[in-house]
Amino acid sequence: MSTTPLCGNREAMTITRMGPILYNAAAQGNIMVFKNHKFKRPLEALLTPNKNTILHIFITTLKTGIESTEKNFVGDILNMCPSLLCQVNVKDETPLHIAARYGHANIIRVLIQQVRYGHNQDLGSGAEAIREMLRMVTKEKDTALHEAVRYNHFEVIKLLIKEDPDFSYSINDVGETPLYIAVERDFENLVLEILNTCNSPAYDGPLGRTALHAAAFRDNTVTIEAILEKIGGAITKNVDQEGWTPLHLAAYSGGWLSTKLLLEHDSEVAYIKDKKGRTALHIAAHRGNNQVMKSIIDMCPDCCELLDNRGWNALHFAVEGDRPDSTESTVELILENSSLSNLLNEKDAEGNTPLHHYSLSSGPYLKDLIDHPRVDKMAFNKNNLNAYQVALSAKLSTGKMMEIGLKFWSYSGRVLTEDEDKLKKIIQDDVKDMENKRKASRIVYMEKAAETHLVVAALITTVTFAAAITMPGGFVGTGDNPHDYEGSVVLTRNAAFKMFIITDVISLVLSCSAVVTHLLTSLLFKYSKSDETRNIFLRLAYVFILMAMGAMVLAFITGAYAVLAHSLDLAITTCVIGSCFFVIISLICGLYRKDLGLLYIVDKLKYIYS
């Protein structure tokens, strides 16, 4: 033991340590050092800073596969000090946990034998004592079996389960059972060993999932069959925190073999919705997993009638698919199935049909959808807009706009006699009208913004001018000091006051610049061919105003400090409170950037569950 004194009145902190001779002897398994050495402390008191004993050190440094030649070290040490058998380090790890983690099966046999014959008085002896040791957990609630499964040590797992087949092995701190760990890592042989030898294995996982969720995501049919046989078919209906069944995960990952197997065991899971009202078919349609869709439709065709919380059906999800390379084939799969014709014109909660959704998206051209004879091209949503009008409001490419427009006018019954060139001219005129409306809307917005900016800039100019004229601290009359001539400022040699004057002038100049920019904008915009020039000057004035506000706050802080310097606590408090302005601005900018990032992520990962 060594103690490290700390400064002041703080108590000394005790740090355990092991000398280099003993540490190296433990790492090398040199039992003679411990037999011949005269210790001032018992073996159980020889600890590293993390409370690792000589057994922890030996097992950690021992290479896998050679422990059979060194196992006598463990036995000899335990004969010398039996309490080391279950002594834990700072993570509550016993030598058994370490041996299981590194796959030292022979050492585990030695540890078990030590308990079997009662060498440890705390545990006792016999099978019950062995089970007590095997069930000890770390601070993260991991048993030795958790450790062995995590690192895929098959022999260790067989040994541990054989000694305690009745224990179900509950979840650790992150919600994992040994079975779930094995399934999630796709250790098929470990999964089968646990299921075949454990009498009642726990199958829970994190986020409310089960081992069957992990198996479905991995699309491992062998594992799925083994779990269903051991645990029972009711597990197929277990949902996680988002309401996803194993079938949802199979649909997400594209595991069509898993999908077929799960439906064969229990077809009712095809009708289970998650918290957003989505079925496995919806997930598969959005992901473009056509084989999964086909399996679900073949076995449960009427589940296509189910809608999510927004009123979307499978075709809505297919049109809005997040995989452009497979979206078209997914839509084709639905359109080719005549029994799904009711999906073609079904409206969601906003009154939008799948064709409306297609018109809003920038995805691939879905010729089969827009050409289908049963699709109502003139259907209106709740905003009284048809698909073509929705497309006009969306910023789509010219090519897609032409494709939608030609199809719309061709089927509308209004211009059937016109040739394609005339149709294109009509579409171009419609697009131009829409752009003019957008331009007019932008101009109105900029005019209103300019009025607000001008008022704020004028207010800042007034405040900073008044502050400079009144002068913090006031003026002096005549005096002996040559600098104190009549009318001079009292605080003229104060550093904080000088900073006040500088920042106040900066604020005044910036606010005046913003006012001038607004006054000149109308003149400059008059000779511009677009509103881009006006937009640039509007943004420039906005930047001037923000900088002027920042300088004005700094002027207030420095002026207040100069006046209140005699009362330091009040001056510091005023400065801290005033500085909160910049903290608030930073938070707003950070939230804005974060919001943009979240919007981007949501846009990319929309309807995807993880």
50-59, 173-182, 280-289, 351-360: range with lowest mean pLDDT: 351-360
> Domain tally for the chain?
2
Residue 85 covered by a domain: yes
Residue 552 covered by a domain: yes
Sign for the CA dihedral angle at 316, 320, 322, 327 comes to: positive
Residue 110 covered by a domain: yes
- What is the Rg, in whole angstroms, of the alpha carbon atoms belonging to the chain? 38
Residue 8 covered by a domain: yes
Burial label for 188, CB within 10 Å (0-12, 13-18, 19+), is: middle
Domain endpoint, select from 136, 157, 187? 136
DSSP 8-state secondary structure symbol assigned to residue 413: S
Domain endpoint, select from 103, 119, 136? 136
| Structural domain range at position 132 | 1-136
Domain endpoint, select from 81, 110, 136? 136
Residue 607 has pLDDT above 50, yes or no: no
Encoding tokens for residue 227? 């779990």
CATH code: domain of residue 115 = 1.25.40.20
Give 107-116 pLDDT, tens digit per residue.
999 999 888 8
Band (65; pLDDT cuts 50, 70, 90) = low
**What pLDDT score does 19 carry?**
83
Element (H, E) at 278: none
Cα distances (angstroms) measured from residue 113 to each of 53, 106, 124, 126: 20, 11, 12, 9
Choose between 422 and 563: higher pLDDT: 563
**What pLDDT score does 513 carry?**
86
**What pLDDT score does 523 carry?**
64
Which of helix, strand or coil describes residue 94?
Answer: coil
Residue 465 covered by a domain: yes
Helix segments in 198-299, DSSP class H: 211-218, 221-231, 246-253, 256-265, 280-287, 290-299
Distance CA 559, CA 104 (A): 72
| pTM for the predicted model, two decimal places | 0.68
The predicted model gives 413-425 an average pLDDT of 51
CB distance 340 to 293 below 8 Å:
no
The predicted model gives 156-165 an average pLDDT of 93
**What pLDDT score does 122 carry?**
58
CB distance 187 to 156 below 8 Å:
no
Residue 160 covered by a domain: no
The predicted model gives 139-149 an average pLDDT of 95
What is the dihedral angle through the alpha carbons of 405, 411, 413, 416, rounded to the nearest 10 degrees?
A: 80
Distance CA 183, CA 301 (A): 31
Return the biggest CA–CA distance within the chain.
109
- DSSP states of 335-378: HH-GGGGGGTT---TTS--HHHHHHH--S---HHHHH-TTS-TT
The predicted model gives 486-505 an average pLDDT of 76
**What pLDDT score does 29 carry?**
87
Residue 196 has pLDDT above 90, yes or no: yes
CB distance 319 to 363 below 8 Å:
yes
Residue 170 has pLDDT above 60, yes or no: yes
Q: In one letter, which amino acid is 239?
A: V
Residue 433 covered by a domain: no
Residue 230 covered by a domain: no
**What pLDDT score does 541 carry?**
82
Choose between 477 and 114: higher pLDDT: 114
Residue 10 has pLDDT above 50, yes or no: no
Distance CA 240, CA 398 (A): 44
Encoding tokens for residue 348? 């969601």
Mean pLDDT (the chain, rounded): 80
| Percent of the chain scoring above 90 in pLDDT | 35
CB distance 283 to 252 below 8 Å:
yes
Encoding tokens for residue 474? 């006031």
Least Cα distance to 152 among 125, 184, 124, 174 occurs for 184
Most confident residue range from 483-487, 527-531, 566-570, 595-599: 566-570
Burial label for 551, CB within 10 Å (0-12, 13-18, 19+), is: buried
The predicted model gives 19-35 an average pLDDT of 87
CB distance 503 to 560 below 8 Å:
no
- DSSP states of 279-330: -HHHHHHHHT-HHHHHHHHHH-GGGGG---TT---HHHHHHT-S-HHHHHHH
Distance CA 541, CA 458 (A): 12
The predicted model gives 533-556 an average pLDDT of 82
